[in-house]
Structure 1
């Protein structure tokens, strides 16, 4: 198994600092508490003029049991009765959003995340889909992208058949690791057969795309143990793989306090796991989209990257760039027009706002012109692994090299170190630079100095 490119471990270590994942720019740390529901309503109304298709994200926070690595906004409960009032609140939120949106706009993308969306019963899933369709009008187009995150421990072949009937055409299965020792250490016992059965059924039913989530850097993982997991996963032939870097932040995420730091792989071993992962997946025919995403060449993510239409949002990489994103549910974030708006992360606060017939907007930000320029630069670099300054200048009617002179100066050392090349006004990340794309993107972030500290995970 040969490395797909020259590997410089010393260079990676030098640039392996902490930094944002850039699911948005400005990042959530810049969201303001004085951003109001009225600000969000105005952005919704403005968005109608652009006529973009809609993307709906539904956050379902419930999980039946905690996974020790979790860094998501979740509520642990065995009581499925909690789902009913939550669905009613989601419907109330839809009712409050709808007057400000032209609902003739196609819902081209739908994503249910969490938490564990399969916490809902089949009837509850049907109820929620019916409400979404009644409020927004769901799409039946072949190129729609309707995805749901699934815990294989809580789903079976009947679940998949029901999801297909509801209109979902893409699945994301949480796997994390197939090693029983690692599974035990993170409180997620999940025999391989559970995942295989669902993959086989999804293939039989003709789901357009299937993603598997893995995590590297978990307790007791080694390069050899993770290679064994990868070998088994490659044999399952998913269209996409998300291989996340575990960020151990127990002071921020309470479940992680159950993980002992001494059980985690050291920095050298973790880099070796990453190196093994890239080599094995490249050899198996996957394209490294960027950061933690891999896809087969014919998958929509890979095709979108080729066409420079890939987008990055709070669900990762998306092939639907030209959409306004409406987030529904506790902690959900919307990206509408020139605004980000976030709902409360507390279920009580979310419910209280809706019970008072108020949109549950807790905080957000309206982007300045400078924010929009830098968001464009960061997003294109993160998605295309390249940045065309001439194109950026055309979009914003500016002299891009002069406007972004401070960012280009910050990239001079990475350029000398072989992480990025510049030919005229065209920047391209090298293979090593692609691994450190977050660091390269940080050069364009003028808000970053305000948030230095333990807020961000390490890049690798």
Structure 2
């Protein structure tokens, strides 16, 4: 990802299309900065008092649950930097540099696996970056062998083993090799097919590269294909992005991620190569967003939430219909109730009641592992209030609705009393038509779905203390 779906009830399938009220003034009023809630608490609440020992204790506690595992592997290397990028990456063309990194990854696997119950299945695997296909075919095979030796990978048909691919440096042989390694889902970075936009972001990628890979992936029978797009890039207009969408829809991916570009050049050095004067204005961005939703909805995609769209039979849409959709550091996931093991520089784990984060710089990551300890630099153990709020925010972000009676039953609290201040904060959003309350049920309206991050912020107990931090804008 940059930066980094059975029939669904009518309440879930609603989208902010041309058939519903589109209130640009309302969107602008609520378009503030806020967390994406890939975790709660967010990473801003992680602290250095949380140590590698705390992480291993969390792993050992989690074994009693026998929850399945989701493993994320971060490959930080890229041959060429895209100017929009906000990912943790290392620019190099020397694939030999990956050898020492793979060795450290194996050390991390060994140190992690010794605390895990070997019977816990690995239902989900995701390689992200950087550019995972920076690795040679031999290196990719070696990494899979190491993962299998340490954790025991699955061959179950319902496993979700995904990898992010740069179409500029992968070919049909790459796809055949990935299939032989057990991957069954692909995510291809596209961003935009307009040559002028591609030049401005330093990513020359003719459509034929993506089309060739997708044709081969369909032929090979990969279960799900995702394409990543970004709106808000330099020189984009509603008309130009509509042309990209027409071409993308013709490629027929099962899923689409359409991210809002967050221009934060003070935090991400490559973005300093993008002139703010070349970026579309606020009105143009809203037009692009509306056109995106209209075109994808007309093409049969369901708006899962935020920046994700999926065909009705894709596992994301199925999970949302079943109420089992999950949100983690890779976005939306169809495998609920997994413990997430993050491997590699900058990776974050969610194990039971704890989050643990690795260093964001390669030298610190390597130094810790060379000294025989997990490279944990910070994290947090959740208390009961954190766990309750994490559950509420996740359900709102995934289901676009919240059942307060169910919250009361699950957590043995009176949810209406417990969240009295949060519900009061949502009163204005309710008056503005972003959310509807019927008894103990809160449900986001089509416009509210676009601002679901804003609605979730009402339940965030940490947000007042983080008000000085800069998050990306919501729309």
- In the aligned structure 2, how far is the partner of 1:368 from the partner of 1:143? 33
Equivalence for 1:379? 394
Please list, as runs of the form range in 1=range in 2, the aligned pairs for 1:32-111 lying within 5 A after superposition: 32-111=47-126
1:255-299 per-position Cα deviation (integer Å, ceiling 9, x unaligned): 100000000000000000000000000000000000000000000
Tell me if 1:217 matches 2:232. Answer: yes
> 1:230-379 to 2 correspondence within 5 Å?
230-379=245-394
In 2: Cα distance, 1:99 partner to 1:229 partner = 48
Instruction: Provide the rounded CA distance (Å) in 1 between the counterparts of 2:385 and 2:268.
Output: 33
Q: Indicate if the aligned counterparts of 1:4 and 1:282 stay in contact, CA closer than 8 A.
A: no
Residue deviations 1:102-128 (CA, integer Å, cap 9, x gap):
021110000000000000000000000
Per the alignment, residue 191 of structure 1 pairs with: 206
TM-score (norm 2): 0.96
Q: Cα RMSD (Å) of the superposition? A: 0.9
- TM-superposition CA deviations, 1:214-253 (whole Å, max 9, x none): 0000000000000000000000000000000000000001
Alpha-carbon distance in structure 2 between the residues aligned to 1:150 and 1:445: 34
Matched, 1:18 2:33: yes
* Counterparts of 1:131 and 1:446, CA distance in 2: 40
TM-superposition CA deviations, 1:125-155 (whole Å, max 9, x none): 0000000000000000000000000000010
Q: Structure 1 stretch 368-377 or stretch 189-198: which is displaced more? A: 368-377
C-alpha spacing 1:55/1:147, structure 2 compared with 1 (3 Å):
same
Contact 1:212 1:241 in 2 (8 A): yes
Aligned to 1:121: 136
Q: Secondary structure at the match of 2:270?
A: helix
Q: How far apart in 2 are the matches of 1:50 and 1:255? A: 43
Q: Is residue 191 of structure 2 the alignment partner of residue 176 of structure 1?
A: yes
2: CA distance, partners of 1:451 / 1:65? 34
Instruction: Select the residue among 460, 464, 471 that pairs with 1:445.
Output: 460
**How far 1:4 sits from its partner (Å)?**
3.8
Counterpart for residue 171 of structure 2 = 156
- Following the alignment from structure 2 to structure 1, what is the Cα–Cα distance between the partners of residues 405 and 383? 21
Tell me, in whole angstroms, the C-alpha distance in 1 between the residues paired with 2:56 and 2:321: 35
Structure 1 residue 454 displacement after superposition: 4.7
User: Partners of 2:112 and 2:469 in 1: how far apart?
Assistant: 35
For 1:362 and 1:444, the matched residues in 2 are separated by 27
Scaled by the length of structure 1, the TM-score of the pair is 0.99
SS, match of residue 100 in structure 1? coil
1:319-359: CA deviations, max 9, x gaps?
00121000000000000000000000010000000000010
Q: Distance in 2 between matches of 1:73 and 1:364?
A: 18
Which SS does the other structure have where 2:323 is aligned?
Answer: coil
Distance 1:364 1:421 in 2: 36
Partner Cα distance (2:176, 2:289) in 1: 35
- Whether 2:219 is the aligned partner of 1:201: answer no
Q: Which runs of 5+ in 1 are unaligned?
A: none
Deviations 1:167-224, CA, capped at 9 Å, x for gaps: 0000000000000000000000000000000000000000000000000000000000
Contact 1:4 1:279 (8 Å CA) reproduced = no
The residue aligned with 1:28 is: 43
> 2:150 aligned with 1:135, yes or no?
yes
